[in-house]
Structure 1
Amino acid sequence: MLYYSGYTRRIGDVDEGSTVTDFLPAERARGITIQSAAISFTWPPVAPDSWIPPINQMSGLPAAASLTPHTINLIDTPGHADFTFEVLRSLRVLDGAVCILDGVAGVEAQTEKVWSQASAYRIPRLIFVNKLDRDGAAFGRTVSEVGAGLGVWPAVCGVPWWTPEGKLRGVGDVVGLRGLLYGEGGDGKDVKNFSLKDLESEDAALAEELKKARVALVELLAEHDDAMVEDYLAADEDQLAIHPASITQCLRRCILRDPQKLVPVYPGASFRNVGVQPLLDAVVDLLPSPDQQADPEVSIGSGIKGGLTQFLSGKLTAATTSDYSKPSSKAISTKGKPNHALQNLEACALAFKVVADPKRGVLVYVRVYSGILARNAPLWNTNLQTSERAQRLLKMYANDAVEVDSIAAGQIGVIPGLKFARTGDTLVSYTGAHPKTGPPAPINSLQLRPIDIPAPVFFVSVEPNSLAEEKHISGSLDLLLREDPSLHVTLDEESGQTHLSGMGELHLEIARDRLVGDLRAKARIGGIEIGYREAITGPSGEVEGGYEREVAGKWAKGGCGVSIESLVEGGDKLAPREHEQLFELTDKNLLVVATPTLRADGSGVGEETPNLPDHLPMSAVMQAFKNGASAACARGPAHAYPVHSTLIRLTFDPAKHVFPNTTLAALSSAARSAVQQALQASAKASETVLMEPVMLVTISVDEYSLGGVVHDISSARGGSIVSLGSDDTTLPSDAGANVDVRRIYAPPDPFAGGHAAAEDFGAGGAVGGVKQIVARVPLKEMVGYLKHLRSLTGGRGTFTMVVDRFERMGGQRMRGVLGGMRSEDVQIVPLSPASVTQANNGITGRQLENLTMSTTLPTSAELDQMAIIDPEIKEQQQQIPQSWQLPEDKDPATLVKLMRAGWDKMPTPTPIAEVEEFRSSYITRDGTTLRLCVFKPAAGHTSKPAAGHTSKPLPLLVWYHGGGGCLGSPESTTAFCRSIVLEQSCVVVAPQYRLAPEYKSPAQVADSWDALQHVASLVADFGADASAGFIVGGESAGAVIGAVLALQARDEPLSPPLTGTFLTAGSYFNPNGIPAEYKEHYRSRHDPVCVNAPMLGKHIKAAFDACLQGDYSSPLFKAALWPSGHAGLPRTYLQTCGLDINRDEGVLYADLLRKAGVQTKLDVYPGGPHCFWHLFPNTTQGKKWKEETRAGIAWLLEAAR
């Protein structure tokens, strides 16, 4: 969009991390959107080469809106379920939305969630079916899923233009009856425009499909719009004769009138630059401008609600003589005298996002709903009742900012430097406002509809490294919460721990990186735990709550009465009675405030009943009670989890509860105290129950695995199946309720053999043998589920999940959860259910002191001899000294960038006929797709089979590249992998893993374990036979990983099992905890000759360590510390270099394995720097390494035979 509008000169790519709106380092590293970003551009563009004009315009009809340049304010939002609040706060300020669907995956669980959220705000929407250039893409099936899964009629406004081979070449415009043919491999600007007549000779099949689509579109619109019926009759009942402008106007009327009835659908492929311009035309033609949207909802006073336009016209006022006989949720419309105070209201805006920018400070994103917000204007925050000033105004273009003098109604802008404004606050600019009390009533209480904040389901503990860090961490957490209100911070009063809660594992991982990395908080972040809820089961009786305390030298006193009872899901909806107000709190708690002696304005109902004092306005009193009740519900009476599904009845009588020194804070505290007492009373009378988050899970599996996965979900995990396969008629309760899926028009997909029928391809249907299972499963059972799903499906299963609801737990299940609460320790980057919990506790050198000295260890003199550089290497080193000479005055991240730049310049070896190479992929536990490079003997180049055999089985080596965990790629191992394939006649798979500093340790091990499990499940698919040998290994950092994976595979056996381990030039010990028996043999880490050696000097090693931030005391980083010991490992072949900082770790680890009974072979290369064979392969030592490597791998393969 930005490229075609002329905003950028190149097209960004999500996979490359080059998109304009994904500018955060974490977004570019992960290839996903994490934070919503705003940008503005014009369409159609000034430069005409990007725009595809309509074929012609008929006289007498208005021109399409897309002929006139419009400014589009675009907000790019995340798609991951963990960042649903970013979507929610963006939806709150949108006039329209484009829902982008994956043409392969179709309508997914998160699609339905976001669609439902957009429906709650009645946002008009378009759908763009993307990725139609990919294998398995099916536009027709996706169209059918829109009706079946989203409950809205899909109005197909474009159809894909396929080649006979099923390749996307363009799109057909159903409204304009034309074909748009995009140039092959171009940037999307070279488009040929075919009229229907020309199309009949160019591609008769597409022309015929366009006619069918036009007929179906007109018939659908005629069912929803009477004007289309008239156009149809005026065109002599010929759907093809209706002018495109009439259809466009009808589409616009339909989606503005009821956005949930009908949605226009467009095809395309953004990666191939197909179909984007028609979508932009549709945005301008069909979606509303700010002045055409529904009147924004506002509230004033004590809950009086209505529209902003209604308020500005003086027709919405707080009641002055009315009581509560009318529901407070309804607007009170009057024809009263004009309110002259409204004339001074300059602007009204909603703060929908707060960002702490490292250079610009705090940035508050606002949407202006009325008036013009001017630079240097005073602002009144009606939520916080505080004043600030908009000293500067910015217009944001993703991460770039431009200063502006004003922001007009309908526009999105940024106010930098505000100290108090939060997400959801209403800001008004009022001429003559008092700096302390703000504008006059009711403007001072005017509030736009707030932003709903979802309840968190996961939490982690945050502990400062020292008491001196507490203040900094507290401030950093405050800043995090101001940025992202879907994060919650609570203090566990029993343990004293601070808990940070979020929407999911990835959400908390990003928050952790932001806290520790960006905000420099020196804190320890604990493991992820599940956010349960607590519910009462019986009523409490009436409790009188009082508060009396000295605050700032003054006594404050207040009171209220409270009773509570349990709310049953599915019960009758509660309606407020006379003199009552109803408030929805978090976690489905309800607060009913009864004021039997007060009117809506705070005056007494009779002459003898007291009024509220002037300093206690009714709206502020209600807010104080809400705050107090919410605070009390944050901690349950029995298990300290937040309270869920509780009805709180609060009674407030000024004659009993208001005193001369009563303040709003005193009333809030009284409400909190009373609710807490009531909760305790209820818990004593009848036990509370725990409620657990239940997820709506969508699992994609092949048909063969369907039965096993269903059985696992419904039995072992205690889930309930919602739908199976194509029989998906019970997804969300409202999905498809008004849509007859059999009547949906869906064009045919390539190779589908006909039109895509909704009953065959509804949400949850099958495509190419893939089935979808939709189930409700407790969240606790889904932690770490991806690994288990892969084992059930041979690595092919995937799943997504969103929070569906909280459900009460049965007695046995609740006892099990409570019993395991203390020991439960689920890691953000889990590796092993049992061993990682032990592993992360660490193991010190003292625990290894029972090891006895081995006579095979080299003496000090022998170690010194090893460190003398090899003469041949020294000679060649002098010819290429720049290969390891890097500046020592650079910070670690810069040093890594310099090394990466050098690494990237290394030439890629030319392909050879003897080795077949191809790329595959695997999916990590957080859903990231990473590469696998596969090398195998080409046909005709394998070893000759033995007599009597038809073929020789090929062993498998999984090889992890080096680079200190910060550099390298699977492609960088190409030369080595080819040589192993040729020498051993085997298959080599080189996985990609994510690198530091973008991803800290132990992410590298976690990715590599996921890769190893994936490869193990698909050995035969790679052309290998594990019975001939299955080896894991790596070089340098890859050896560190390989050593850990071998231990992990022993404790969690792979199928097939490993038969050997090959580790070269790795590091395996904690340098600060070497066992006493090994200390005199551990010299290379401190020997000046080794630490200043070429290839891996101390400053490079320090840079890697600083970027990785690995824990030396963790067995996930140092294999020698593995808590369950090393016995039972398969054969292990190690190599170590004599002039290397890692030298002695290879020697000692080999000794450690021998003493554990592991068959171990060690080769040492005296005088060789770290991994010298890459730069000096033709030296004597280089040739020796090559020969011993061949022999070492052959020795490992003997174990399989």
Structure 2
Amino acid sequence: MSARLARTRNIGIIAHIDAGKTTVTERILLYTGRIHRTGEVHEGAATMDWMVQERERGITITAAATTCQWRDHTINIIDTPGHVDFTAEVERSLRVLDGGVVVLDAVAGVQPQTETVWRQADKYSVPRVALVNKMDRRGASLERTVEMIRDRLNAIPIRCQMPVGREDEFRGVVDLVAFNQRNFIDDGLDHVRISEIEPELVSKARAAREHMIEEIADFDTDIAEKFLENDPISNQDLSDALRRITVANTAIPVLCGSALRNKGIEAVIDSIVDYLPSPLDVPVISGTHPKTGADVRCPPEDDAPPAGLAFKVTTDPFAGRLTYVRLYSGRIKPGSYIYNTTRRKRERVGRILRMHADKREQLDEGLGAGEIGAIIGLKDTFTGDTICNQNQPLLLESINFPEPVVKVAVEPASRADQDKLGAALVRLADEDPTFRVTSDIETGQTLIAGMGELHLEVIVDRLLREFAVRSSVGAPQVAYRETIRRAATGVGKFVRQSGGRGQFGHVVLEVEPTEDGVENSFESRIVGGTIPLEFMAAVEQGVGDAMTEGPHGYPMTGVHTRVIDGSYHVVDSSEIAFRIAAAMAVRDAFERASAVALEPIMELEIRAPDTYMGEIIGNLAAKRGNIRRADSDGSEVLIEAEVPLAGMFGYASELRSQTQGRGTFSMEFARYEPTNASSLAGSRA
């Protein structure tokens, strides 16, 4: 079993949009024999972009999984979206992966979403290798991109290759580890001819190899000792050291190539096998016992108790509801029962599948430790849930997702569509943790919220294509939030007496801003039984009810609630009474806690011809934007700014008009910031 796991790699392909992730994945599948001809993204035929919307738009929307073989190793690959609106797909994929390949554009270098996915990978301590793609493009620079990795990502890049030829003359690389030259033969495939290094490149290559060895020696004691003692360092020594420092997540091996031109792909697959960790190389996952709180280890062994994390839920038109699971320990077989600790429910496992984009392969032997698969039959398991053996329960750390920032009202086109709309939205919300469905209290309209305009466009399109629900949507609105600026105490007392048994609940609590300003939290400081323990769950529910709408009418965020006192009646107290009393106490506290409305601030990166810089900056200033950087190389300007989302709806059309179609931009959510009343005019939660 350990031999199988040692030859297993669970990896993700991550990057900024249009850096070439899906093209890299397609080439990996081609060279490993998983597919026999490539489908191009720009032609709408990529294997991994299987959704209709993905093929029409030329972007990845949902993380697609596949498996391939290379050098007797099994590589499980998840190709993730690069567009910021679908960041949840990246978050949940990285949570369950052991390693990643980060694809960077050799011309643009590190871009905003590169920084986002890098932070997500850092959050889960995912070891990475980097591919600097599009080396055949005009303006491509490996050196500049490596420096951007160092400066903007605060990482330690180690160049393992040196390009041979620049831009459209890019024809090979010098492998600084093996110290030979890999020449790309232009026969439609990246068939590499290995040769000695060209004489005119030997001196430069030797200096680059020495620099690489020095960088490795900074992080690996074996190489450092040999380097200081002037002992010979073999190619295998270097390869082993690169694996050690990559698995330890202290440095990043950097390769270069051009995926679209089939250049450099075999070296990328080799690096996945040689440098990225197996399930045996990563720290053993631990959970907590749901009752005792004790640590429970999940060793990657088939004979250990099963423990896994559901990281994605989808609906397959033929197979039905699919729950994607990373199994950390044990084995799950078709027909067996598992326990969902998160939901406290026992579920029967139907079939278990290994997915290849939208195609499937049945696993009759089941899912083993360290593997990723899709389970049919789990009706009550959702993203972030822990599955295990009921007799040996544990809870794994769940997955946190960002809050939606854009919302629109959606109306069914007819009565028949109205009947289907609710069920369709529930299904879509089950699949996507960043998609929310609510009702406007005043108008009764159905509101859908997501991470951006594109996110909601795709949702509405899926309503029509997958569920045959015709609908119309209103103009996009900002999803505002509220928080508090100071601590306050609130009292809530709910008393009803109308003959016979009445209702009684009394809660005293404190609210204060949380340190991170993002998550709401709850604690009980009740002593002496002033509120019986059996009612505390109802108190927490009541606090949650009050958090859905603050004094300004928006959901509350960044509030810590502490229950400190209360009282009860032996006969009249009930769960509903304490739930209502707790909500009353929170609202009472908010009146003295200086509640303030928050608006989403977006990070914006714009590239346009230099002549349009003044007009672009002036337009951003009118949107209350803060210019952080404006660099020009004489022909193109790069502008980085922070702008409230309220001013950014329809900005793509504005920028096209300003620059005569020659400007491009990318935008991602940065944070929530306090806003004033004038910014909220005409808006509702």
Answer yes or no: same fold by TM over 0.5. yes
CA RMSD of aligned residues (A): 3.1
**1:35 aligns with one of 49, 62, 75:** 62
TM alignment of 1:388-399, pairs within 5 A: 388-399=347-358
**Contact 2:303–2:331 under 8 Å retained in 1:** no
- Residues 368-413 of structure 1: CA deviation (Å, up to 9, x unaligned): 0110111111011111111110021111111111111210011011
Number of residues of Structure 1 aligned to a counterpart in Structure 2 = 654
In the alignment, structure 1 residue 633 sits paired with structure 2 residue 592:
no
Paired residues of 1:587 and 1:643 also in contact (CA < 8 A):
no
Q: Distance in 1 between matches of 2:634 and 2:173?
A: 24
Distance 1:449 1:539, change over 3 A: closer
Pairing partner for 2:173 from 171, 174, 177: 171
How much does 1:719 deviate? 1.7
1:305–1:500 distance in 2 versus 1, CA, 3 Å? farther
- Aligned counterpart for 1:709 among listed residues 600, 616, 621: 616
Q: How far off its partner does 1:453 sit? A: 1.4
Report how far residue 152 of structure 1 moved.
Answer: 0.3
Equivalent of residue 775 in structure 1, options 641, 645, 649: 641
Residues 346 and 646 from structure 1, CA distance in 2 versus in 1: closer, same or farther, beyond 3 angstroms? Answer: closer
Aligned-residue offset at 1:269: 0.4
- Provide the C-alpha distance between the structure 2 equivalents of 1:35 and 1:101, rounded to a whole number of angstroms: 20
Write out per-residue CA displacement over residues 563-584 of structure 1, whole angstroms, 9 at most, x where no aligned residue. Answer: 344528xxxx4xxxxxxxxxx9
Contact 1:146 1:154 in 2 (8 A): yes
Read off the aligned partner of 1:408 and give its amino acid letter.
Answer: G
Instruction: Decide which of 639, 649, 668 is 2:562's aligned counterpart.
Output: 649
Shift of residue 627, structure 1, vs aligned partner:
5.0
Partner of 2:652: 786
What amino acid does structure 2 have at the position aligned with 1:787?
S
Counterpart amino acid of residue 650 in structure 1: V
**Pairwise mapping of residues 954-965 of structure 1 onto structure 2 (< 5 A)?**
none
Partner of 2:154: 151
* Aligned-partner Cα distance in 2 for 1:303–1:275: 52
Which of 771-780 and 477-486 deviates more? 771-780
What does the per-residue CA deviation read over 1:636-677, in whole Å, with 9 as the maximum and x for residues that have no partner?
Answer: 2332x2112323222478xx45968988xx37x844x34532
Is the counterpart of residue 279 in structure 1 residue 242 in structure 2?
Answer: no
Other-structure match for 1:693: 600
Matches within 5 A, 1:81-120: 81-120=84-123
Counterparts of 2:347 and 2:572, CA distance in 1? 29
Cα distance between partner residues in 1 of 2:657 and 2:77: 42
| Aligned mates of 2:638, 2:645 — CA distance in 1 | 19
Q: Say if 1:610 and 1:462 are closer, same or farther in 2 by CA, change over 3 A.
A: closer
Residues 722 and 774 in structure 1, CA contact (< 8 A), matched pair in contact too: yes
Report the alpha carbon displacement of residue 95 of structure 1 after superposing the two structures with TM: 0.3
Kept in 2: contact 1:547–1:670 (CA 8 A): no
- AA at the equivalent of 1:776: E
Whether 1:594 and 2:525 are equivalent positions in the alignment is yes
Where 2:318 maps in the other structure, the secondary structure is: coil
1:949-985: per-residue Cα shift (whole Å, max 9, x none)? xxxxxxxxxxxxxxxxxxxxxxxxxxxxxxxxxxxxx
**Aligned residue among 464, 475, 493 for 2:412:** 464
> Which of 148, 160, 164 matches 2:163?
160
> Is residue 193 of structure 1 aligned with residue 56 of structure 2?
no
Q: Check the 8 A contact 1:540/1:681 in 2, yes or no.
A: no
Letter in 2 for 1:519: F
Show structure 1 runs of 5+ residues with no match.
Answer: 45-68, 314-342, 431-438, 550-554, 574-583, 599-608, 726-765, 825-1201
Per the normalisation by structure 1, the TM-score is 0.51
CA distance in 1, matches of 2:259, 2:648: 33
CA contact 1:637–1:676 (8 Å) conserved in 2: no
Indicate yes or no: 2:332 matched with 1:419.
Answer: no
Aligned to 2:683: 821
- Pairwise CA distance, 1:252: 1.8
Q: What is the distance in 2 between the residues matched to 1:353 and 1:803?
A: 22
Shift of residue 547, structure 1, vs aligned partner: 9.6
Cα distance between partner residues in 2 of 1:697 and 1:610: 50
Q: Give the number of the structure with larger relative contact order, counting CA–CA contacts within 8 Å between residues 6 or more apart.
A: 2
Contact 2:136 2:168 (8 Å CA) reproduced: no
Which residue is 1:246 aligned to? 237
Aligned letter for 1:591?
F
Query: 2:496 and 2:430 mapped to 1: Cα distance?
Result: 31
Match of 1:298 in 2: 287
The aligned residue for residue 402 of structure 1 is 361
Confirm or deny: 8 A CA contact 2:542 2:581 kept in the other structure: no
- Residues 534 and 689 in structure 1, CA contact (< 8 A), matched pair in contact too: yes
Q: Map Cα deviations across residues 190-242 of structure 1 (whole Å, 9 max, x no partner).
A: x2101xxx3234xx22x333212211111111112222111224544xxxx52
Shift of 1:597: 4.6
| Cα deviation code 1:342-388 (max 9, x no counterpart) | x9974111111111111111111111011011111101111111111
Larger radius of gyration: 1
Cα distance in 1 for residues equivalent to 2:292 and 2:116: 29
Alignment check: 8 A CA contact 2:610 2:634 kept: no
Determine if the alignment matches structure 1 residue 210 to structure 2 residue 205. Answer: yes
3-state SS of paired residue (1:592)? strand
Aligned counterpart for 1:255 among listed residues 223, 230, 246: 246
Q: What amino acid is the match of 1:385?
A: R
Output one character per residue of 1:982-1019: Cα deviation in whole Å (capped at 9) or x when no partner. Answer: xxxxxxxxxxxxxxxxxxxxxxxxxxxxxxxxxxxxxx
Q: Match of 1:78?
A: 81
Change (3 A) 1:541 1:242: same
Query: For each residue in 1:305-340, what CA deviation from the matched residue of structure 2 results, as whole angstroms up to 9, or x when unmatched?
Result: 646248x99xxxxxxxxxxxxxxxxxxxxxxxxxxx
Q: What's the counterpart of residue 123 of structure 1? A: 126
Question: How far apart are the structure 2 equivalents of 1:642 and 1:211?
Answer: 60
Looking at structure 1, the residues matched to 572 and 383 of structure 2 have their Cα atoms a distance apart, in angstroms, of: 33
Confirm or deny that 1:527 pairs with 2:467.
Answer: no
- Does residue 397 of structure 2 align to residue 449 of structure 1? yes
Secondary structure at the counterpart of residue 238 of structure 2:
helix
Check whether the contact 1:694–1:777 (CA below 8 A) recurs between aligned residues: yes
Match of 2:661 in 1: 795
* Inter-partner Cα distance in structure 2 for 1:160 and 1:631: 59
Identity of aligned residues (%): 35
Equivalent residues of 2:334, 2:351 under 8 A apart: yes
Q: Is residue 480 from structure 1 mapped to residue 346 from structure 2 by the alignment?
A: no
- TM-superposed deviation, 1:135: 1.8
> What is the deviation of 1:716?
1.1
Q: Is the 8 A contact 2:545 2:583 kept in 1?
A: no
Q: How do 1:378-393 residues align onto structure 2 when only pairs under 5 Å count?
A: 378-393=337-352
Distance 1:215 1:625, change over 3 A: farther
For residues 403-452 of structure 1, what are the alpha-carbon distances to aligned partners after superposition, in whole Å with 9 as ceiling and x for unaligned?
A: 11210011011111321111111111x3xxxxxxxx34xx44x1111011
Residue 290 of structure 1: SS of its match in structure 2?
Answer: coil
Give the deviation of 1:151 after TM superposition.
0.4
Q: Are residues 1:718 and 2:624 paired? A: yes
**Conservation of the 8 A alpha-carbon contact between 2:63 and 2:79:** yes
1:19 Cα shift?
A: 1.9
Cα shift readout 1:460-517 (whole Å, capped 9, x = no counterpart): 1123345565443221111111111110111222211121110001100111111232
Bigger share in strand: 2
Q: SS at 2:44's partner residue?
A: coil
* 1:713-732 Cα shifts (integer Å, max 9, x gaps): 2x31212222332xxxxxxx
Instruction: Report what 1:370 is aligned to.
Output: 329
> Residues of 1 paired with 2:321 and 2:495: CA distance?
37
- Distance in 2 of aligned mates of 1:521 and 1:658: 51
Equivalent pair of 2:496/2:502 in contact (CA under 8 Å): yes
State the secondary structure of the residue aligned to 1:227.
helix
User: Offset at 1:771?
Assistant: 3.0
TM norm structure 2: 0.88
Q: 2:217 aligns with which of 216, 222, 235?
A: 222
Report the CA distance shift for 1:454/1:177 in structure 2 as closer, same or farther (over 3 A).
same
C-alpha distance in 2 between matches for 1:480 and 1:494? 25
AA in 2 matched with 1:224: F
